[in-house]
């Protein structure tokens, strides 16, 4: 090592002396004018050497490794904590519910009420099934302070067949219904005359129908359906109605237009009108198409469309086209918590004798039937969830109807009553242009699988053109329903309804009166509370008890037609397979 250092120093000193000497010599001989090159410069390359990746260390101090010893000094820590053993949480397992394809119910109650129903369903194969049901509800009546029979009966029979294939599913059904009622609502001023004439207030309806529908998978044709019904009564009236409908997705370039095509035929006859013995015929057919295009962008969904209808009146021979808007929109303001929605729609409503008699079974068989032109139905609202188990819906609406059907008590024919419904104990139909403004609120609570609660309230205001009032339309409606599965065996429920005041008219026609004498009658609001309680004896058999009109109020749903007071009914339901 020392030898190498000595050689390096000797070489450095020699190089320094040589350079100094040469520089001095050059300075003495250089001429600023001409420079003569004695020998050309010949560069040389010195030998290269590679640095070793692991240098060789000859230092004994570096090569010797010191031995290091580690000592751990441990001491105990005082602690009183004792961890408990982990235990898996217990998950409540519900007993699998045994489902049955068939059931039968039978109940009896006050007013000699009988309630019975049998529902049957049988799977022929994995893709085919056949079923049907029979139901009956009747009461022998017995409303206090009535001079005429008030019994009623409602019986229905239905059979159906369904099939589900790979790309489509279809079913057909047929049924028959028979109903019996009484025009028992004779005003006090006419009871003596009606009793003297020995009127028979009983009347009945019957109907038979046949229909079917089909749905397709992965095709532009979504579904189709048809329906035919024959409806009549024991007063010589008859009505036929045929409806057909198809839903198609119509592709236009890169978009699809939802299209609905429908056809509706109605034809019927009454033996007479209310004032004459002339036969009353009515009928029309409608053909319509509705188009809608859906647009979605983030939280906004808009449906833009319109409906076009063609109406032909078979009796008058007149025809007319109708165009209605079909626009709806929803916007999620705050996810599912706050959703705004609205729309403006219109429709050509096909009225029928069957629909009128179903809503009000005390109509007379002398009605004038025509369609209602609903120019537009505009609505806006907010809906959403207040929590995971509570939802709400608040809305407002404005409806403009032309030729809206209103129920109104028929004129009392005091001069020469000819029929059992001429004593102010039946209802006719009047048509008027009615504008309706309404607001509504609804709350639904689903606390768990065993408890459900719903509350709804509505307020309406009406404006008419020709009629003095919007007859028999309530200004306030409210409802509440409750369904509670108490435990494995006990269950209960309740339904409450409130209907506000309605107005009707009592018109008296007589020989001593130059003009019919009319009086506006205000029907009081009413509150109807119903409840039921049941017990599951086993998976197949259960018993129940019901109480209707609990507040025992014989209110009038229609003028001069009080309903049964408090009613009790008890029965049993049996489920089975075969």
Nearest partner of 376 among 431, 310, 429, 322, judged by Cα: 322
Q: Which tokens belong to 265?
A: 């035929």
Task: Please report where in the chains the tokens 């394809």 appear, as a residue.
Answer: 101
Residues pairing with 453 in the sheet: 445, 482
Give the model's pLDDT for residue 31.
Answer: 47
Q: Which tokens belong to 565?
A: 């007071």
Whether the CB-CB separation of 554 and 528 falls below 8 Å is answered with no
- 3-class SS at 52? coil
Confidence of residue 68 (pLDDT cuts 50, 70, 90): low
Instruction: List strand residue ranges (DSSP E) for 410-552, in order.
Output: 412-413, 427-448, 451-464, 476-485, 490-499, 502-509, 517-523, 526-536, 541-548
Q: Is the dihedral of CA 482, 486, 489, 490 positive or negative?
A: negative
Average pLDDT, the chain: 87
For the stretch 488-498, pLDDT in tens is 899 999 999 99
pLDDT for residue 130 is more than 60: yes
Mean pLDDT of 204-224: 94
**Angle at 429 (CA atoms; ends 427, 433), nearest 5 degrees:** 140
pTM exceeds 0.85, yes or no: no
Give the model's pLDDT for residue 449.
Answer: 77
Give the model's pLDDT for residue 12.
Answer: 42
What does the alpha-carbon distance between residue 296 and residue 290 come to, in Å, rounded to a whole number? 20
Q: Which tokens belong to 7?
A: 């050689």
For the stretch 228-276, pLDDT in tens is 999 999 999 999 999 999 999 988 888 889 999 999 999 999 999 998 8
Cα dihedral: 394, 400, 402, 403 (round 10) = 30
For the stretch 306-326, pLDDT in tens is 999 999 998 888 999 999 999
């Amino acid at each position: 090592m020392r030898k190498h250092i000595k050689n390096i120093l000797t070489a450095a000193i020699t190089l320094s002396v040589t350079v100094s000497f040469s520089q001095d010599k050059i300075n003495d001989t250089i001429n600023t004018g001409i420079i003569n090159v004695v020998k050309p410069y010949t560069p040389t390359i010195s030998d290269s050497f590679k640095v070793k990746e692991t240098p060789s260390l000859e230092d004994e101090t570096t090569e010797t490794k010191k031995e290091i010893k580690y000592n751990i000094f441990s001491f105990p820590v005082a602690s009183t904590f004792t961890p408990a053993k982990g235990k898996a949480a217990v998950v409540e397992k519900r007993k699998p519910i045994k489902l049955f394809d068939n059931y039968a119910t039978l109940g009896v109650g006050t007013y000699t009420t009988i309630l019975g129903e049998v529902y049957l369903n049988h799977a022929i194969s994995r893709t085919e099934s056949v079923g049907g049901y029979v139901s009956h509800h009747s009461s022998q009546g017995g409303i206090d302070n009535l001079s005429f029979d008030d019994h009623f009966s409602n019986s229905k029979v239905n059979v159906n067949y369904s099939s589900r294939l790979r790309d489509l599913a279809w079913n057909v059904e047929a049924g028959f219904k028979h109903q019996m009622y009484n025009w028992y609502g004779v005003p006090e001023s006419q009871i003596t005359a009606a009793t003297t004439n020995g009127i028979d207030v009983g009347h009945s309806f019957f109907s038979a129908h046949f229909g079917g529908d089909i749905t397709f998978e992965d095709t532009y044709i979504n579904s189709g359906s048809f329906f035919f019904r024959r409806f009549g009564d024991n007063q010589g009236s008859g009505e036929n109605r045929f409806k057909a409908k198809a839903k198609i997705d119509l592709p236009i370039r890169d978009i699809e237009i939802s299209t609905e095509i429908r056809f509706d035929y109605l034809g019927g006859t009454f033996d007479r009108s209310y004032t004459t013995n002339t036969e009353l015929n009515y009928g029309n057919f409608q053909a319509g198409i509705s188009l809608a295009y859906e647009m979605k962008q983030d939280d906004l969904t808009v449906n833009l469309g319109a409906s076009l209808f063609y109406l032909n009146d078979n009796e008058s021979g007149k025809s007319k086209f109708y165009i209605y808007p079909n626009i709806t929109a929803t916007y999620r303001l705050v996810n599912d918590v706050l959703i705004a929605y609205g729309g403006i729609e219109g429709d050509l409503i096909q009225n029928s004798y069957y629909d009128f008699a179903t809503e009000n079974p005390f109509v007379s068989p002398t009605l004038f039937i025509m369609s209602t032109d609903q120019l537009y139905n505009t609505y806006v609202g907010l809906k959403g969830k207040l929590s995971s188990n509570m939802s709400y819906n608040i809305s407002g609406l404005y409806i403009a109807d032309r030729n809206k059907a209103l129920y109104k008590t028929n004129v009392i024919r005091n001069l020469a009553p000819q029929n059992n419904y001429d004593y102010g104990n039946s209802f006719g139909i009047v048509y008027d242009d009615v504008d309706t403004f309404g607001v509504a609120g609804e709350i639904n609570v689903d606390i768990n699988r065993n408890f459900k609660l719903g509350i709804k309230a509505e307020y309406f205001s009406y404006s008419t053109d020709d009629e003095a009032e919007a007859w028999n339309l309530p200004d306030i409606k409210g409802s509440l329903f409750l369904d509670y599965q108490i435990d494995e065996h006990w269950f209960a429920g309740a339904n409450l309804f409130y209907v506000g005041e309605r107005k009707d008219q009592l018109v008296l026609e007589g020989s001593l009166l130059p003009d019919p004498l009319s009086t506006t009658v205000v029907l009081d609001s009413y509150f109807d509370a119903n409840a039921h309680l049941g017990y599951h004896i086993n998976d197949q058999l259960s018993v129940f008890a019901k109480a209707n009109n609990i507040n025992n109020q014989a209110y009038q749903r229609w003028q001069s037609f009080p309903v049964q007071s408090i009613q009790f009914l008890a029965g049993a339901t049996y489920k089975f397979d075969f």
